[in-house]
Amino acid sequence: MTEFTDVLGRSAIAVERVLDDLLPKDDRPEARLMDAMRHATLGGGKRIRPFMVLSSARLFNVAETCALRAAAAVEMVHCYSLVHDDLPAMDDDELRRGQPTCHVAFDEATAILAGDALVTRAFEVLADPATHSDPAVRCDLVAELSRAIGADGMVGGQMLDLVAEQHALEMPEVTRLQRMKTGMLIAFACESGAILGKAADPVRHALHAYAHDLGLAFQIADDLLDVEGDEKEVGKKTGKDQGAGKATFVSLMGVERARGQARMLTDQAIQHLDLFAEKADPLRDLARFVIERRT
């Protein structure tokens, strides 16, 4: 795993550089907005979703410069979702990646706008010819991302999460919630390489199936960290779900069964990669890393 952590770390540095380029500092009167966007996006995070984009793109020999732009767009969307989720009206979090959250470092209005501008910038980046020479590919990226993060995807999942505070959810509902809230963006990250590489449908479906299982394993691992993780190490508040009385995979299954389920899902995810042979090793390593991570 140490070797993989290095691989992931190098990838994160490359992604950081592209994000820094795509969100350039300015000194205009509205600079506070870009400062907030940069605060929310730069200087932290394992960049797991961008790694998915880059690793899936390599399966199809997509040019690295193109893949890095798509990876940056996915990370911008992830960061926008965190900024809005952290707002006082939502989860009211003050700590993220060991730093004050956007509305704490700036203010609520700026945080709302920074999130808005980040998701918009993500679509702008994807639609730009620099991301792919074929407009059909760029359009496909925009269409799939918007589906993954809209009312039937990530934002709908966040709504479900809020609704869930009033109802006790059962396992199928928790599964659906998590697939929408975190799984669909992860699926897009894994499939975007296939879109960039104009891969045939069966190949795309294999990556989707991988992402589907990995996304749930990822969420279970996150729930486990919330219960067992150390706040300083994790870089955000832990014990939150329990405190809020939220139904999670861990609260419904218990720690041991949840850990077993995450392992099973990871094995299943890895099996979907068989058709890529050793070219998919980074995605296999990622799957193992996800359930073993301590932060």
The residues of the shown chain that bind a copy of itself, judged by CB under 8 A, are 29-30, 32-34, 37, 84, 87, 89-90, 107-110, 112-113, 115-117, 119-121, 123-124, 126-128, 135-136, 138-140, 142-143, 146-147, 149-151, 155-160, 162-163, 167, 173, 180
CB 258 to a copy of itself: min, Å: 23
| Cβ proximity to a copy of itself, 60 vs 123, nearer residue | 123
For a copy of itself, the closer of residues 162 and 255 by Cβ is 162
Of 149 and 220, which CB lies nearer to a copy of itself in the complex structure? 149
- Angle 192-185-5 (CA atoms, 0-180°, nearest 5)? 80
Residue 44: burial class (beta carbons within 10 Å; 0-12, 13-18, 19+): middle
Please, what is the minimum distance in Å from the beta carbon of residue 295 to a copy of itself?
28
Distance CA 135, CA 112 (A): 31
Q: How far is the CB of 89 from a copy of itself (least distance, A)?
A: 4
Minimum CB separation from a copy of itself for residue 45, in Å?
20
Q: Which helix (DSSP H) or strand (DSSP E) does residue 100 occupy?
A: strand 99-100
Nearest to 14 by CA among 237, 55, 40, 143: 55
In this complex, which beta carbon is closest to a copy of itself, that of residue 54 or of residue 141?
141
Q: Which of 137/199 has CB closer to a copy of itself? A: 137
Say how far apart CA 49 and CA 75 lie, in whole Å: 7
Is residue 38 packed enough to be buried (19+ CB in 10 Å), middle (13-18) or exposed (0-12)?
Answer: middle
Tell the smallest beta-carbon distance from residue 110 to a copy of itself (Å).
Answer: 7
CB closer to a copy of itself, 48 vs 113:
113
Dist. CA 196–CA 159, nearest whole Å: 31
CA-CA-CA-CA dihedral for 131, 133, 134, 135, to nearest 10: 60
Least Å distance, CB 239 to a copy of itself, is 22
